[in-house]
């Protein structure tokens, strides 16, 4: 890479989840197209699998040794800043306080916060929220801080983006459904949803998309062995696009994967598993790109069966959902974020140059 790198401070753990990690990985892939390498300072679970995903993209990984947001963590991050000499630092940590971000800003680097919670004040140079739901009024920003949020900045993985043209028209029947609950299945619903969908009369095949670290992967594979022609399990990113392109309907959790499926044009029924995803799901529902059934505690087997049957019976509803989703998410969010970062860096370089000239005079 011929340009200064970008440092990412992000974690991926069982408790926190891995969505933040994967959106940073997607952002890093987009930055590589501008010849910028990335270094990830991260606590990873499982470490071997996720570290390999970073290296596979041509990036460097440094394992974080201390709790996120702690003074020791800040010290380690600043040491990596001195070593790597990045031009920008992307911080995607809910534990990152205002003081933590100010210290990073004091290092002289451009600080970018990736955040969808708005739970702290942001002295960062730029704040990015790639989800839907929060607005500028929800954030406490310092003077001069830029905010980018909403569907224009949704981060769509390259492998998903490539199937958008393929999925422009609905595939032929019989009906196929995918269960795509995201990078984490916080409530362990994948197995139960698969069983419920197998009993829906109009459904010919169910494909469950999960990561290899899913806690119930063995149970899913055992269920698939008992229903060889009706149930499939995909665990590798290279498998996901094929299953998506052939599906007529998806069961999702209203998170970042829901935005990606909307971009492709797949009708969705959403069952929210985490409070942080509720507003994103509500906005998808209001846009017409998906239908929110409720939270995981409130959606019964009967309600799910009725909703699935209703959508599969109504071709017009599926077409309208697909069109609304493709119109809402155009797959160019990562490119816009890269352009925004480059413009910010250029502006800061120009400002420093002008300041140096004034001091010299």
Specify the CATH number for the domain of residue 347.
Answer: 3.40.50.11190
Domain count, the chain: 2
294: Cα within 13 Å, side-chain hemisphere: 9
Q: What is the DSSP string of 307-319?
A: HHHHHHH-HHHHH
Contact of 200 with 206, CB cutoff 8 Å: no
The pLDDT assigned to 358 comes to 67
Altogether, the residues listed in the chain come to a count of: 361
The pLDDT assigned to 305 comes to 96
- Return the H-helix or E-strand segment holding 234: strand 231-234
The pLDDT assigned to 135 comes to 87
Contact of 123 with 101, CB cutoff 8 Å: yes
**The pTM is what?**
0.94
The pLDDT assigned to 3 comes to 85
Query: Do residues 174 and 282 share a domain?
Result: yes
Instruction: Compute the distance between CA of residue 6 and CA of residue 36 in angstroms, rounded to an integer.
Output: 7
Query: Do residues 90 and 211 share a domain?
Result: no
- Domain assignment of residue 272, given as a range: 158-328
Q: Kindly give the parts of the chain with pLDDT less than 50.
A: none
Query: Do residues 307 and 181 share a domain?
Result: yes
What is residue 107's three-state secondary structure? coil
Tell me the CA distances in angstroms from 101 to 45, 71, 77, 79, 314, one per residue in order. 24, 12, 11, 15, 50
What is residue 101's three-state secondary structure? helix
In-domain check, residue 1: no
Query: Do residues 323 and 340 share a domain?
Result: no
What angle do the packed helices 315-328 and 278-287 form, to 10 degrees? Answer: 120
The pLDDT assigned to 30 comes to 95
């Amino acid at each position: 890479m011929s340009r200064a790198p970008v440092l990412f401070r992000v974690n991926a753990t069982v408790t926190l989840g891995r969505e933040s990690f994967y959106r940073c990985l997607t952002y890093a892939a987009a930055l590589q197209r501008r010849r910028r390498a990335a270094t990830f300072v991260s606590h990873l679970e499982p470490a071997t699998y996720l570290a390999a995903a970073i290296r596979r993209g041509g990036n460097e990984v440094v394992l974080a040794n201390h709790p996120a947001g702690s003074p020791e963590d800040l010290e380690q991050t600043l040491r990596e800043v001195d070593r790597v000499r990045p031009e920008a630092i992307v911080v995607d940590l809910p534990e990152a306080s205002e003081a933590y971000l100010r210290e990073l800003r004091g290092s002289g680097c451009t600080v970018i916060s990736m955040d969808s919670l708005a739970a702290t004040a942001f002295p960062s140079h730029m704040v990015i929220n790639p989800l839907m739901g929060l607005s500028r009024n929800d954030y406490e920003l310092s003077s001069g801080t830029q905010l980018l949020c909403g569907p224009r900045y949704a981060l769509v993985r390259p492998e998903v983006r490539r199937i958008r043209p393929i999925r422009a028209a609905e595939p032929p029947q019989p009906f196929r459904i995918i269960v795509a609950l995201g990078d984490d299945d916080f409530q362990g619903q994948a197995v139960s949803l698969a069983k419920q969908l197998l009993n829906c009369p109009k459904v010919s095949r169910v494909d469950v998309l999960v990561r290899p670290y899913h806690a119930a992967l063995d149970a899913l594979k055992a269920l698939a062995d008992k229903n060889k022609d009706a149930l499939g399990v995909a665990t590798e990113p290279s498998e996901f696009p094929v299953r998506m392109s052939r599906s007529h309907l998806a069961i999702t959790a209203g998170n970042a994967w829901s935005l990606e499926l909307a971009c492709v044009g797949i009708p969705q029924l959403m069952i929210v598993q985490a409070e942080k995803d509720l507003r994103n799901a509500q906005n998808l529902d209001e846009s017409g790109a998906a239908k929110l059934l409720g939270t995981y505690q409130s959606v019964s087997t009967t309600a799910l069966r009725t909703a699935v049957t209703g959508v599969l019976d109504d071709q017009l509803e599926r077409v309208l959902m697909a069109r609304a989703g493709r119109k809402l998410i155009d797959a160019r969010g990562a490119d816009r974020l890269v352009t925004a970062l480059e413009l910010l860096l250029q502006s800061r370089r120009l400002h420093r140059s002008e300041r140096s000239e004034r001091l010299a005079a």
